[in-house]
A and B are shown apart, each in its own frame.
Chain A
Amino acid sequence: MSTEERVELLQGTLDLLILRTLLRGREHGHAIAKAIERNSADVLQVEQGSLYPALHRLLKRGWISAEEGVSENNRRANYYSLTAKGRRQLRLETAKWDKLAQAISRILRTA
């Protein structure tokens, strides 16, 4: 896939993808980045660094929480997990997103 085809991630989309990733359980930063890359099949390519401002934005809003933990190879890491508020937000955002995607695809089909 060439760089031109990759879509720059919109900030809101990145937030949504992070919440979605954390739905399966707590993760550290690198794992979240890899999961997003994997799940979006490299279509949504983002500088891995931009994950961190986004994570802190979500922390600040109270949608995720962070705790120190020990990783699989016995290293300390910051683990992020969804809060109840974050779960609600994800449902809301997903519903909104679905609606929008349906609307767009309907428009594209009828055009």
Chain B
Amino acid sequence: MNRHLKNLDQEIRDHIERETLANIERGMTPQDARAEALRAFGNITRVTEQTRAVWSVIWLEQLRQDVRYGARMLLHNPGFTAVVVLTLALGIGMNTAVFSVVNAVLLRPIGYPHPERLVWIGDYDTFLKRDIVRSSDFAGWREHATSFSLLSAYSRQQASMVTARGATNVNGVAVGGDFWSITGARPALGRLFGPEEQDKIVLSWDLFEHEFSADAGLIGQTVMLEGRAATLTGVLPREFRLQFPKWWIASELQPVEAYFPLVMSARERLRGVQVVGALKPGVGTRQALAELEVMEKDILAQDPNRDRANLHLEALQEQIAGNARPALLVLFAAGGFVLMIAAANIMNLLLARAAARRKEIAIRASVGAGRARVIRQFLTESLLLALLGGAAGLGLARGAIALLIRISPNAVPRLEETSIDGWVLTFTIAISVGAGVVFGVGPAIALWRSNLHGALKESARTSSSSFGLRVRRLLVAVEFALAIVLLTGAGLMLKSFWLMNAHPPGFSPESVLMLKLRPRFANKDAQTAYLRQLVERVESAPQIDAAGVSIWVAYSGVTGFPNDSSANQSHTVRLNFVSLGFLNTVRTTLVKGRWLNDADPANMILLNESFAREAFGAADPVGRSLRLNQPFTVAGVVSDVKYSKLDAAPPPEAYIPFQQLPLLPGLPIDLAIRTSGDPLAAAAGVRKLIAEADPGQPVYGVTTLDRLLASSIAPRRFNLFVLGSFAATALLLALIGIYGVIAYSVAQRTHEIGIRMALGAQRTEVVGMVAREGMTIALAGMVLGFAAAAGLTRLMASLLYGVKPTDLPTFAAVAAALGATALVACWSTALRAALVDPMVALRTE
């Protein structure tokens, strides 16, 4: 402490004593003299405080006092403190978790050199619904385009690899052009292959550890890839990640394990690749796109049969995050709603507490605390609560992030990079302080408006300010409105989810085992023989109800459907080469015509309903002929079944006996097996059957059909899960809010209720009166909420499937659910009010 302040108290006492003596000398009585001296001196506490304040940084000194006092208050009310901190932790934790995802996905730049210059160059394929660039186009751009300093192509590539541990399937990516320069990759061991090299492999650290026991001596050695010798040139560091868009992520849960050189041989020039480039400094996306479009026109002029390209070019970050943005922003807003509800609840509690603390405050004011000082004390307390809640929320957020990454790692691109960094921390502190100010200001205003001197005279119980109660009712109504918006949003998503998962009876995807093979054959006869044998072996194994193979390709440029309005109308369809058991395994049913059988001529096919509709309209396709890659005759029409993607209509699909499959090297074969027991338990037996036929044949992608379907809608499940938890929390908080307000108002009115009952009011009347008060608040909030929901759910239209944003049944269901729970909350509180013994109630005064 400052040396000048050491004797301040003594000095002030001396001063008053001197003044008292002087007054006595002027003829006053000792009592009067002292009173007059004290009056002339003024407020001693305030003088002391102001004098100290001269030497200290005033707010720091007072803050220390306020914090100490506030901490004592919070410790004395552990129940209150726990409720507030938990409520806040919930609200802040959820917001922090969502923000950290937003931060990782939308805000944090890609971890490659010059992320701002990286662009995605796409050529949209309307059938596959994703971007594919012909590798010949890429080669042309790399040779001639001047807008880019670097251009890289990549393409998903599975490869069977034989190591000392046996045959495995490697989930790899073929990369070409300036891939390594664009990603800024440096090898942890060995070297990275150059753009002109072939038959090389660079491993991810995980695969190196897992398959090669991290043996550095193996660098430069040869491994067998797809039956060809390839050199293991190097290993990437553990932290290297492929941050380019991965369209396959929905169906392939594994991370990228290895990188191969992209082969640009003449035979593979039509291969589809994905392209990422780095713009030269000063070149914009529009300029670069214009250059590519000019080049595209030249190519079209030389090759008029080629499909028109559908080029677009955008920032890589935008391409990665773009699809996730609407959902993340909806979730972010929803998180904000939850926090607002939590803050409203806490403000509610603090208002009730402020009313109870009026006496304490009046005493503090009368011993010299200024009103501003008392209000600042209140704000300090609420900030203290907010920061405690924020700290707890941060812990909660860590758990929530881990949970989100675990349950749906591929739902959002770059989700696995989500972490609590400086930005997230700043955000958490900011919303904590913001919330603290918001819910601290309410009680402070209530205090400002209340007559403190009156409080000393009144009994604390009856002194609730009408302002406080009015604000509290309003707050609960707003809570209900916010909860309605969240519940409606979650309800709409739930209904979308339900519609997506509405399978035909008997589909039961959980009992279908799915696995993949990628055998290569010398000729078509060997291919047909292998597939026939495979199907026969699997079908005859025990516990297997049905099994079949499916090899599908997208076939574009089909013309001349009977239903076409013009001759050059082009279609893209799916040609699915299947064994007959496949259709039974995925439970398609016959709609028209007949099934195929082995005795049928080779050109008989089945169509699904989508195909029949697109090709023949309302006409009966059975027996008609159709030209696809060759002429076929339609034997029958089968039902549409969503067995690959849940959130899209099934594509037009033709089922062709697998014997018609041309020799296609390295195309994945899907094996679908319906089992009577646990499908994953049956997997071991099936693996053994396959290994018996060819021990070098890796089996991969082993899963059940329902898991495969679930991962096709992983982003939607993620959104539903997060929004659902928000809505549930909101509902809980809103119910706590209404319960609190009614319980408080009942406690305030115990005396009044006692009088009413003493005067002959029936218990049912009391229940009705109290419940009506609560329901009025709830209904007002609900009306407000539905008005807001009707406007806001439109923003989430892109997240819905098969349901309109203003779906009436969903709104009605939410209204019924929330109304019923509110009624229960009001009613139970009201019942307690009615159980009041009038005599006890009257005596409480």
Contacts and interface: CB of A to CB of B under 8 A. Distances in A.
Interface of A: 28-30, 33-34, 47-50, 52-53, 55-57, 59-60, 66, 68, 75, 77-78
Given A50-B47, A52-B8, A30 B19 contact: yes
A71 B547 CA distance: 111
B536 interface: no
Given A30-B18, A60-B54, A52 B43 contact: no
B11 A52 contact: yes
Contacts of B42: 47-50
Contacts of A68: 7
A30 B15 contact: yes
A49 B41 contact: yes
Contacts of A34: 22
Nearest to B8: A52
20 contacts: A28-B14, A30-B14, A33-B15, A47-B40, A47-B41, A47-B43, A47-B47, A48-B19, A48-B40, A48-B41, A49-B42, A49-B44, A52-B51, A53-B47, A53-B50, A53-B51, A53-B53, A60-B55, A77-B14, A78-B7
A68 B54 CA distance: 20
Given A29-B15, A49-B47, A52-B47, 6 more contacts: A33-B15, A52-B8, A52-B50, A53-B50, A56-B4, A77-B11
Interface in B759-774: none
Interface of B: 4-5, 7-8, 11-12, 14-15, 18-19, 22, 40-44, 46-47, 50-51, 53-55
Contacts of B15: 29-30, 33, 48
A49 B41 CA distance: 5
B54 A56 contact: yes
B234 to A, nearest CB: 69
Contacts, number: 58
A53 B54 contact: yes
A60 B50 CA distance: 14
Going nearest first, the 4 A-B pairs with the smallest beta carbon separation are A47-B42, A49-B47, A49-B42, A56-B54
Contacts of A55: 51
B55 A56 contact: yes
Nearest to B43: A49
Nearest to B52: A56
A77 B8 CA distance: 10
Contacts of B44: 49
Nearest to A59: B4
Among A48, A66, A68, A75, find the residue whose CB has the most chain B CB atoms closer than 10 A: A48
Contacts of B12: 49, 52
A54 to B, nearest CB: 9
A66 B19 CA distance: 21
Nearest to A45: B40
A57 B4 contact: no
Nearest to A77: B14
Contact of A57 (B5, B7, B40, B54): B54
A34 B15 CA distance: 11
Contacts of B46: 49
A55 B46 CA distance: 15
Contacts of A28: 14
Contacts of B47: 47, 49-50, 52-53
Given A30-B19, A78-B11, A56 B41 contact: no
A36 B55 CA distance: 24
Contacts of A33: 15
Contacts of A48: 15, 19, 40-42
Contacts of A50: 42, 47, 50
Contacts of B53: 53
Query: Which of A29, A48, A49, A50: most chain B CB closer than 10 A?
Result: A49
A60 B54 CA distance: 8
Contacts of A53: 47, 50-51, 53-54
